[in-house]
Amino acid sequence: MTALPARYSQAPVRLLALEQGTFVARDDLLATEAPLTIRVTGSAQPIVTMRTPGHDLELAVGLLHGEGVIQGRGDVLAVDPLPERDDAIRVVLDPRARARAGRLQRALPASSACGVCGKTRIEPPASAELPPLPPGPEVDRDTLLPLPAVQRGAQRVFHRTGGLHAAALFDGAGELLALREDVGRHNALDKLVGWALLGDRLPLHGHLVLLSGRVSYELVQKCALAAVPIVCAVSAPSSLAVELARRFRITLVGFLRGERFNLYSEPGRIRGLVEAESARGTAAR
């Protein structure tokens, strides 16, 4: 099981809508938010996280990758739903990964709104062990501009509910490879990384990730663990996200909307910037 049917990701609701000064009763759809229990070999306590049902196996292994427990496909011996349940996942780890399960330190269940909530420490040791990413790849600046429209066009559940975040993976030419949706920004990225991990596609050198919301430091950290060299978002990064991107030498792009974007780190991966600066200097003279 890699995904639940679409009906699980959305729930019907009866509401009153104010239209032209009058309340009108109508039916609508909401994005589902429900708990998922992840039981990991080597960890005494299960992880309970809130998510939008669907691609739960990817979410489980992606979350463990983001915590530094899983480092590659070989670390996962088995991942499957518990019998007779659609809200619980079992992850069986290789002994080497099982020894890293102590990094799973959460005092409380994690909400879909915050990947840090409940953690007993801010930064897992895995991030400190990562070397900065090497230079490259280079992409044309005009390759970035259409990506938000491509992402929105592929968000099927968002179009029905209006209540989901997305994380999308593109190749260096701007071709969409995979997209995952969830009520949580962190979950959407975990599902995407989990898809790549289960398909033995890590590390993600030569790829771009586009996030539908703001960029927190933890989202940059998850991308660093997956070796994503270019991270884009339609909204703003936090100060710590920029600091982390510079530390790992990730190209961080924010406010990617229409014909503009802001570039916060590692500009050398974006072709066309030098030409733009030269043209502006010529015009000024």
Rounded CA-CA distance 249/260 in Å is 22
> Which residues, at least 6 apart from 194, have a Cβ–Cβ distance to it below 8 Å?
55, 57, 58, 59, 60, 61, 62, 63, 65
Rounded CA-CA distance 198/258 in Å is 34
114 is catalytic: yes
Q: Three-state secondary structure along the chain?
A: CCCCCHHHHEEEEEEEEEECCEEEEEEEEEECCEEEEEEECCCCCCEEEEECCCCHHHHHHHHHHHCCCCCCHHHEEEEEECCCCCCEEEEEECHHHHCCHHHCCECCCECCCCCCCCECCCCCHHHHCCCCCCCCCCEEHHHHCCHHHHHHHHCHHHHHHCCCEEEEEEECCCCEEEEEEECCHHHHHHHHHHHHHHCCCCCCCCEEEEECCCECHHHHHHHHHCCCCEEEECCCECHHHHHHHHHHCCEEEEEEECCEEEECCCHHHEECHHHHHHHHHHHHC
Catalytic residue among 114, 117, 223, 232: 114
Provide the annotated active-site residues. Answer: 114
